[in-house]
Structure 1
Amino acid sequence: MNHINEKEIVSYIKELVSIPSPSGYTEQAIKYTAAFMESKQVPYQITNKGALLATLKGKDDSCHRLLTAHVDTLGAMVKEIKPNGRLKLTMIGGFRWNSVEGEYCKIHTAGGDVITGTILINQTSVHVYKNAGDAKRDEETIEVRIDAVVNSKAETEDVGISVGDFVSFEPRVEETKTGFLKSRHLDDKASVGILLHIIELIQAGKIELAYTTHFLISNNEEIGYGGNSNIPDKTVEYLAVDMGAIGEGQTTDEYSVSICAKDSSGPYNYKLRQHLVSLAKANDVDYRVDIYPYYGSDASAAIRAGFDVVHGLIGPGIDASHAFERTHLSSLKHTANLIAHYLQSELV
């Protein structure tokens, strides 16, 4: 569709990735989406779980669709304050410690302060540790060097840090001249940015909804139960918009929309998948059908929870998922285009 503006999508993504929101600490990111809904006069509610559910009426109100993207990200929590004042961490979400080694982070204290730090292995200096490169990266060896003058557990506690404080990773977002968007947390804030742009086009009268459609901005996807509730009764189709996984043996790339046929939860609805492929073919949307071997989505969480819906999964191709991620503006545009055509199509 000519109305899709990938630059506007990127502007939303840049703002979203800059809001710390590891699973369990998503209130500010949800507030950002709520402010957007209010600015576009979109009715919404905040669920008891802290997600946002917005609803827009379509031509047919007898059957509904639901699209979801998640605003929660990977992160960590303070597990222990070490005797030297540094911090041990526990993971939030599924990543590998080596993917965040050397990254700047923020510790969000229970008192409301933010203290910066760096995630390092406890044997970093090659001038001291002969086998620094070979040491195992795990919860025992990874630590946070906080940016405060502390040398003991008591001194770290005195600056306000305690066990259970959330730790967020710096996104380091950057848009290149060649059209790439590099950042942590494109999973899944890239898709949230796409949905916000789609809603903007609907409210501007540039997309006409075939059916009443709900937009669920979930906040617990990275820990497995983001989109498994608050699904309105008339919902018959549930489409998760999440990242497409790139790697050896995958068809997904950074330039097209990825349509998932199967992930670790099993196959997605075949009729809906074929419908999405047909829409892509008919509207010059560059797409790839793929299988994600180690993946689960809010749509699969809804199926596991027992909801009787047709479920699907699409998203922009994201390289180096759960690490330092990258996609291309063309992938954002193709994903948005497919969503726009889907929302104007008939039910499967």
Structure 2
Amino acid sequence: MEITNRIIHTIEELVKTPSSSGFTGRAIEKVESMLTGLPLEMKRNHKGGLLITIEGKDTTKHRLLTAHVDTLGAMVKEIKGNGRLKLSMIGGFNWSSVEGEYCTIHTTSGKEYSGTILMHQTSVHVYKDAREAKRDEQNIEVRIDEKVNNANEVRELGISVGDFISFSPRVEVTDSGFIKSRHLDDKASVGILVELIKEISTHESLPYTTHFLISNNEEIGYGGNSNITPETVEYLAIDMGAMGDGQSTDEYTVSICAKDSSGPYHYELRKKLVRLAEENNIGYKVDIYPYYGSDASAAIRAGFDVKHGLIGPGIESSHAFERTHKSSLEQTYRLVYQYVLSELV
């Protein structure tokens, strides 16, 4: 499927663009550049997210779809006396999942420095507790790739408390059809929406005015809880399907969420998504994500009167060394495509 190759290329471009929550300007600019020149309305909200609108035949009832471009990351918490950096976590991940990862320090002046995230007690030749020491904010630090041995030398580089730190994505597409990279949550879904918008804005007439929000604060809980028009009836978040023990989600189908930590999603909308999948021979799994929240649940918590749903590609090892397969991207794209052309619930 040619569209799948385009989605994968777009995802590769996105994951290579740093966008920790709070530092998403470059990624939003990247999405804007991908959609410039198409017959649609595009603007940024005050929070820095991107709102795209395609007018439909019925302008009295609207839909909103969202995917988030913000990712996990960190911020400089402290410049240590040994010339290394303590970190403050952005988003919810395990420190062990970033140990050994390459990273970039983004200074407020615009200068950037490379580094590696390591345990202070990394060397087994020096530290007796190298294997057992706790992986936490006290022991994890950044080794900067500059000749620095104390805090003053670090400050002279222009590095300061509050500077953002992004993690290297290490994106790779395998011959067997897997794409593995950090930040597939949720740039896999953003890639799907970008290619969908390109297709429908030039080849389809939508039944309802449809908004696409590329949100930029989902990982910290409030990315998609605004810019919802009074006419909006349905709100569909496109975000990863979580995999693991007891989960039905896999890397080859689209995951349809029935419930997450916020509670059940709208029952009739969920049934409609299942029906669309079955009618169009789209591979799907219905699942429950026990420790998960989405832009759609954030909108409900904010008090918006909408029917909310959540679907997405299955992502293995979420918030760590993530991976999905091109077939999951394809099935998710096909379901979103059928959804935007369908009637409201």
Report the counterpart of residue 20 of structure 1 in structure 2: 18
Distance of 1:178 and 1:335 partners within structure 2: 19
Pairing of 1:140-155 with structure 2 (within 5 A): 140-155=138-153
Distance of 2:152 and 2:247 partners within structure 1: 49
Distance of 1:232 and 1:243 partners within structure 2: 25
Pairing of 1:75-224 with structure 2 (within 5 A): 75-205=73-203, 207-224=204-221
Q: CA contact under 8 A between 1:109 and 1:166: conserved in structure 2? A: yes
**Which shows bigger deviation, 38-47 or 311-320?**
38-47
Amino acid at match of 2:166: S
Distance of 1:268 and 1:77 partners within structure 2: 34
Unaligned runs of 5+ in 1: none
Distance of 1:104 and 1:249 partners within structure 2: 32
Pairing of 1:227-242 with structure 2 (within 5 A): 227-242=224-239
Match of 2:305 among 305, 308, 311: 308
Distance of 1:85 and 1:41 partners within structure 2: 51
Distance of 1:72 and 1:263 partners within structure 2: 20
Q: CA contact under 8 A between 1:37 and 1:43: conserved in structure 2? A: no
TM-score (norm 1): 0.98
Match of 2:319 among 322, 337, 341: 322
Distance of 2:147 and 2:39 partners within structure 1: 48
Whether 1:264 aligns to 2:251 is: no
1:204 CA drift (Å): 2.7
Amino acid at match of 1:309: V
TM-score (norm 2): 0.99
Whether 1:291 aligns to 2:297 is: no
1:60 CA drift (Å): 1.6
SS in 1 for 2:8: helix
Unaligned runs of 5+ in 2: none
Report the counterpart of residue 44 of structure 1 in structure 2: 42
Amino acid at match of 1:8: R
Root-mean-square deviation (CA, aligned residues, Å) is: 0.9
1:36 CA drift (Å): 2.0
SS in 2 for 1:276: helix
1:243 CA drift (Å): 0.3
SS in 2 for 1:163: coil
Q: CA contact under 8 A between 2:88 and 2:137: conserved in structure 1? A: yes
SS in 1 for 2:211: strand
Distance of 1:331 and 1:195 partners within structure 2: 14
Deviations 1:48-85 (A, max 9, x none): 01001010011221200000000000000000000001
Distance of 1:325 and 1:109 partners within structure 2: 27
1:283 CA drift (Å): 0.3
SS in 1 for 2:36: helix
1:233 CA drift (Å): 1.6
SS in 2 for 1:271: helix
Distance of 2:112 and 2:230 partners within structure 1: 41
Distance of 1:231 and 1:312 partners within structure 2: 15
Deviations 1:76-108 (A, max 9, x none): 000000000100000000000000000000000
Q: CA contact under 8 A between 1:17 and 1:185: conserved in structure 2? A: yes
Distance of 2:39 and 2:339 partners within structure 1: 23
